[in-house]
A and B are shown apart, each in its own frame.
Chain A
Amino acid sequence: MADTKERKLPAPAISPETQAYWDAAGKGKLLVKKCTACGEAHHYPRPICPFCFSDKTEWTEASGKGTIYSFSVMRRAPVPYAMAYVTLAEGPRMVTNIVDCDFDKLKCDQPVKLVFKPTDGGPPLPMFTPA
């Protein structure tokens, strides 16, 4: 089943702490927060590291490469879509969708690459498609 029909995506609610993430998304970049104190990257992004509680976190640009950790095709939606967790090359796993592909051929651990999809009046959402 190809993802051909249009699915309207709601705009994310943006707060001051995540403004930079969404500004970057608007320029086609995926940012990951990294802690300079403990060296760990995390997602979703926070000013205070959830691992060591340091406030020395900084934005880094993700490579856009990853693998599907898990997925599920929501067959009962008006336009079916593939919910997923993708493991970024940088480490963290993020909630996302797999798009522009044959849903029936998706597999766990499959390599994927970053794409952006427009939302309804907000910044675009980082999503993934088979690499």
Chain B
Amino acid sequence: MSIKGKAYIAGIYEHPTRLAKDLSLAQIHAEVAKGALEDAGLTKDDVDGYFCAGDAPGLGPMSMVEYMGLKVRHVDSTDTGGSSYVLHVGHAAEAIAAGKCKVALITLAGRPRAEGMATGTVPRSRGGTPTPDEPFEFPYGPTVVNMYAMCAMRHMHEFGTTSEQLAWIKVAASHHAQYNPHALLKDVVTVEDVVNSPMISDPLHRLDCCVITDGGGAIVVVAPEIAAKLKRPKIKLLGASEFIKTQMGGKVDLTYSGARFTGAAAFAEAGVKPADIKYASIYDSFTITVLMQLEDLGFCEKGKGGAFVADGNLISGVGKLPFNTDGGGLCSNHPANRGGLTKVLEAVRQLRGEAHPKVQVKNCDLAIAHGTGGSLGLRHGSATVILERE
């Protein structure tokens, strides 16, 4: 069974806040749910499927189903870190295709900034029963940033990728963020700005990293017969795929991500190829994340990502592959330290023609959204969706 054409994204909402000192976690989940349902032209009582991940308070979906007063017959709280919500879009389509629900609500929220969380630079133990990997990793000080940095270091070693090439990814994101009134970082930066920013963990500088923000977002995925009755542009799901990439028992390879598998599978299901894509939302926890995923999704050859992203090739209206036109996680928003949901949101805006006019891609009828969650350098979950404007 394929999910191609079996589900549509009918509603989206991104919380405008980037610092939520006065909002509770549950409240942000509910606010984004309300926003996305209103965007779709649906109500809470239409929702019969609910999807959330580890950012939701409580055990799986239960607390939020109660808090929002939902009555659902299908739930899914699969957690693959920041890629969860891209994966949830695929799972929602599967559930809809199987008749398990007709209106699926996906929410994300978090307040790491209000809580003063040291997101990227402090090793974290999950507590409780240790994961089997923890004794062999945690004592050595793995952080978010140094594990991604090791991917960049090996990429540079094997393929000659440079810090300047990585910097172009931030430069492109900043060109887009200047038009997003909600973006945390609105200043356009140069390659020099990025490579001269403080070194955090070699070879990643401060400006190679994404922002830390509070906030959230929501997506409403619906059955075709529901989409047909709504007044919003019809955004059809053509393909979806997920994969968990691991250390493979010690056969570690830091030069590629799970996108190698999810991209191939999603493109095959959709029946399109990378060259057909008009707009790409690519997970951007760090500049290296974008570069590796672009290679793995097939937008360029493995090892040629540096040359591909250079010279503004990712800037809308300038380059060949406009990416993250909301400013992405690198400049606008990375709510709850999980950037997958906002990737789907900007892809939908582009397909609807509702992106900012300065970054809107002309005749944007086919888009990809891709997420990576967990740690690119340890183990991560990848998820890809391919979307079409009908």
Q: A85 touching B121 by the CB < 8 A rule?
A: no
* Number of CB contacts from chain A to chain B under 8 A: 120
Task: Assess whether B137 is interfacial by the CB under 8 Å rule.
Answer: yes
User: Looking at the complex, which one of B137, B139, B199, B200 makes contact with A11 (CB distance below 8 Å)?
Assistant: B139
Given contacts A69-B252, A70-B150, A83-B146, contact A75 B136 (CB under 8 A): no
Given contacts A72-B149, A91-B250, A108-B157, contact A77 B136 (CB under 8 A): no
Set of chain B residues within 8 Å of A92, measured between Cβ atoms: 249-251
Task: Assess whether B247 is interfacial by the CB under 8 Å rule.
Answer: yes
Set of chain B residues within 8 Å of A71, measured between Cβ atoms: 150, 153, 202
Chain B nearest CB, measured from A81 CB (Å): 6
In the bound assembly, the distance between CA atoms of A122 and B252 in angstroms comes to 27
In the bound assembly, the distance between CA atoms of A82 and B53 in angstroms comes to 33
Task: Assess whether A60 is interfacial by the CB under 8 Å rule.
Answer: no
Task: Assess whether A10 is interfacial by the CB under 8 Å rule.
Answer: yes
> Which bracket fits the contact residues of A?
35 or more
Chain A nearest CB, measured from B292 CB (Å): 13
* B128-161 interface (Cβ within 8 A of A): 130, 132-143, 145-147, 149-154, 157
Task: Assess whether B201 is interfacial by the CB under 8 Å rule.
Answer: yes
Interface string of B91-124 (1 = CB under 8 A from A): 0000000000000000000000000000001000
8 closest Cβ contacts across the A-B interface? A92-B250, A72-B149, A12-B135, A50-B249, A44-B136, A42-B249, A108-B157, A70-B154
Cross-chain pairs A/B with CB under 8 angstroms, 14 sampled? A13-B134, A15-B135, A40-B249, A44-B133, A46-B132, A72-B152, A72-B202, A74-B145, A75-B201, A76-B201, A83-B141, A83-B142, A93-B250, A108-B153
Residues of A within 8 A of B (CB): 9-15, 18, 22, 40-44, 46, 49-51, 69-77, 81, 83-85, 91-97, 107-109, 119, 122, 125, 127
